[in-house]
Amino acid sequence: YTGKSGTQLLTENLQKLYVKDYQSIPVVVNDSVSVYDAIVTMFLEDVGTLFVVDHSSLLAGVLSRKDLLRASIGNQDLSTLPVNIIMTRMPNVTMCQKDDLLIDVAQKLIEKQIDAMPVVKPNENGYEVTGRITKTNLTKAFLALAKDD
């Protein structure tokens, strides 16, 4: 018996969970696609958040369900409205990297009141999107901790 409290053990285990082990495949759209096409992609790919990339495949923005719903209210023509008009754009996108701790991602999601963030790899010109972390990934990690002991 180690003499450690339950909370100490939980904290130790949380410090071992990394983004790279729980991330999902990102679903990205180009910044020139229409809001209509983004809605279709969101349904077909079964995700709640889309990441938007520019012509060099670098992160340009984020689209949530509510962003698309908001754009759909009113009489705009969704098939001619490009997503870059309505997305949350860089540098206001909250992101993480594969070697970040999951607990830090959880903190950011709660702080910013968002559901998901892109996992990125920085390069000279911007950020390449390599993964996706959502509240579902965090819930899976939480379950994995429970099954551990």
Residues that bind ligand ADP (CB under 6 A): 49, 62, 64-67, 88, 92-94, 113-117
Smallest gap from Cβ 117 to ligand ADP, in A, equals: 4
Strand boundaries in the chain, DSSP class E: 28-30, 49-53, 59-64, 88-89, 116-123, 126-134
Question: CB of 1: closest distance to ligand ADP in angstroms?
Answer: 42
CB of 18 or CB of 127, closer to ligand ADP: 127
**Residue 110: Cβ within 10 Å count:** 11
Query: Which residue, judged by CB position, is nearest to ligand ADP in the bound state?
Result: 66
Nearer to ligand ADP, 31 or 115 (CB): 115
Can you state the angle between helices 135-148 and 102-112, rounded to 10 degrees?
Answer: 140
The nearer residue to ligand ADP, 39 or 67, going by C-beta atoms, is 67
> Closest by alpha carbon to 64, among 132, 122, 138?
132
- Beta strands 49-53 and 28-30 are parallel
Q: Sign of torsion, CA 70 75 78 84?
A: negative
Q: What distance in Å separates the CA atoms of residue 116 and residue 100, rounded to the nearest whole number? A: 15
Question: In the bound complex, what is the minimum distance in angstroms from residue 33's beta carbon to ligand ADP?
Answer: 16
Q: For residues 3 and 74, which CB has a smaller minimum distance to ligand ADP in the complex?
A: 74
Q: Are strands 28-30 and 126-134 parallel, antiparallel or unpaired?
A: unpaired
CB of 80 to ligand ADP, least distance (A): 21
Question: Shortest distance, CB of residue 87 to ligand ADP, whole angstroms?
Answer: 6
Q: Of the two residues 101 and 145, which places its CB atom closer to ligand ADP in the complex?
A: 101
